[in-house]
Amino acid sequence: MYLSKLFIPILKETPAEAKIKSHQLMLRAGMIKQSSTGIYSWLPLGFKIMKKIEQIVREEQNKIGAQELLMPTIQSAEIWKESGRYEDYGKEMLRIKDRQGKEMLYGPTNEELITEIFRTSVKSYKSLPQLLYHIQWKFRDELRPRFGVMRCKEFFMKDAYSFDLSDDEARKSYNKMFFAYLNTFKRLGLTAIPMEADTGPIGGDLSHEFVILAETGESKIYSDKRIFDLDISKYNGKDDSIKELRKKYGDFYAVTDDKFNKDDFEKKVKKENQLITKGIEVGHIFYFGTKYSEKLNAYVQNKDGKNLPVHMGSYGIGISRLVGAIIEAYHDDKGIKWPLPVAPFTLSIINLMPEDKNCSDTAVSFYNKFLEQEIDVILDDRICSIGKKLSDNELIGVPIQLIIGKRDLNEGVVELKNRLNNSSKKISLDSAINNILSETKI
């Protein structure tokens, strides 16, 4: 891709309506455009990043045997009446009528619809366990949409649902997801801490919110700061191993506001380890047993021919919110610093003098070589000031930048910049390819 051709409406000024860094930077870097309150269009750059995050989420779901399907955004009100949530959900639910006057809604979540799909086709324990997920837009008519894609009305979510015969089996499914979530966030470059949370209107008694630290976060969190040092790489996906890992996390106090108890906190956490701060909820998992299966009549036959309600859990990751959350964790005064796995482009070749033949030929030749190596590369061939070139690239946050200038070329060198650690060095033309290939390894 040539930057001159990319549809990227970069803004010079920080829009006044954006209060937090990620929102400001997403608007300035031309990633999103608000279409109405809490509803955004995703422009090419933003969309590309969201797709990368989505793919990592998908791969980690598939790794634990979850199967992807796709449910519609528009649902019938009937199943929500069966579960009793049509009334309970309140004003956050966008209710619609079709031309026949049939009550419909734009799905805020999918427990009812997936249970309806499950119950019509699964009748026997032999088909269990099942772990199903989809990645789809959700709509919640939030009272106060704010902070750009962090809290909006229409947002992109991965939601998974587990179906098991017994409580014991269901807790294994929960554990699998717990582990998949930790791996997912780690791959995205984030340290997300599972914190005991209230199950709220979803019901049940087991739930974790995955929270990353950020001053601009909306969740108040109370924790033993040593929880941030836990290393998940020693654990594997087997249930015993995950149980051990969950126990490790359980050893450290970490809760959100609604579970906080001052006496408990002070008793369990030494003063020097107490961390009270703010965070962003990027995922939330629930085990709610038979709450929906009983109401929606999702029963299966066990070995002895007895009909039992299935035990269910649900598991969400806010994919569009993650775009903002990653920026909150990775930025500086100049702009975004994308971690390699989600960067819109791994490498930006910045031609400082596009009108100079030597510079252009060198830039294009590098560009073609990196394409051959399957590196996601962008060539900044725009005819504009050097200052604008450098600052736009810093704003967009491409992690590796190869800067080609006339004077450097005369000396047989190019500049290699790493946006992530703010380093920069001159390297010889001959060594550029190998240098960059090693820096772009994930």
In angstroms, the CA 167 to CA 127 distance is 16
Considering beta carbons, is residue 204 or 354 the nearer one to ligand ATP?
204
Q: How far is the CB of 154 from ligand ATP (least distance, A)?
A: 8
321 binds ligand ATP, rule: CB under 6 A? yes
- Report the relative pairing of strands 423-428 and 413-418 from DSSP bridges: antiparallel
Give the list of residues 6+ apart from residue 207 with CB closer than 8 angstroms, or none: 196, 197, 198, 199, 284, 285, 286, 287
214 binds, among ligand ATP, Mg ion, none (CB under 5 to 8 A by kind): none
140 binds, among ligand ATP, Mg ion, none (CB under 5 to 8 A by kind): ligand ATP
In angstroms, the CA 283 to CA 71 distance is 20
321 binds, among ligand ATP, Mg ion, none (CB under 5 to 8 A by kind): ligand ATP
Rg (CA), the chain: 25
281 binds ligand ATP, rule: CB under 6 A? yes
- Report the relative pairing of strands 347-351 and 377-380 from DSSP bridges: parallel
Q: How far is the CB of 27 from ligand ATP (least distance, A)?
A: 16
346 binds, among Mg ion, ligand ATP, none (CB under 5 to 8 A by kind): none
In angstroms, the CA 406 to CA 361 distance is 12
208 binds Mg ion, rule: CB under 5 A? no
152 binds, among ligand ATP, Mg ion, none (CB under 5 to 8 A by kind): ligand ATP
Q: Where are the strands (E) in 182-273, listed by range?
A: 193-196, 206-213, 219-224, 254-256
The three-class DSSP label of residue 361 is helix
Q: How far is the CB of 184 from ligand ATP (least distance, A)?
A: 12
The contact mask relative to ligand ATP for 136-155 (x = CB under 6 A, - = no) is: ----x-x--------xx--x
The one-character DSSP state at 238 is S
Q: At what angle do helices 239-251 and 167-187 cross, to 10 degrees?
A: 70
Considering beta carbons, is residue 136 or 391 the nearer one to ligand ATP?
136
Q: Which of 21, 208, 284, 419 binds ligand ATP (CB under 6 A)?
A: 284
Quick one: tokens of 439?
């820096």
> Which residue's CB comes closest to Mg ion?
284
Q: How far is the CB of 314 from ligand ATP (least distance, A)?
A: 8
Q: Which of 283, 289, 313, 405 binds ligand ATP (CB under 6 A)?
A: 283
In angstroms, the CA 370 to CA 339 distance is 19
- Site of tokens 């961390």: 275
The one-character DSSP state at 124 is B
In angstroms, the CA 136 to CA 160 distance is 11
Residue 11: Cβ within 10 Å count? 12
Residues 92-121 that bind ligand ATP (CB under 6 A): 109
The contact mask relative to Mg ion for 276-315 (x = CB under 5 A, - = no) is: --------x-------------------------------
The one-character DSSP state at 5 is T
Q: Which of 135, 157, 363, 409 binds ligand ATP (CB under 6 A)?
A: 157
Considering beta carbons, is residue 6 or 150 the nearer one to ligand ATP?
150
Q: Which residues bind Mg ion (CB under 5 A)?
A: 284
Q: Which residues bind ligand ATP (CB under 6 A)?
A: 109, 140, 142, 151-152, 155, 157, 281-284, 316, 318, 320-321
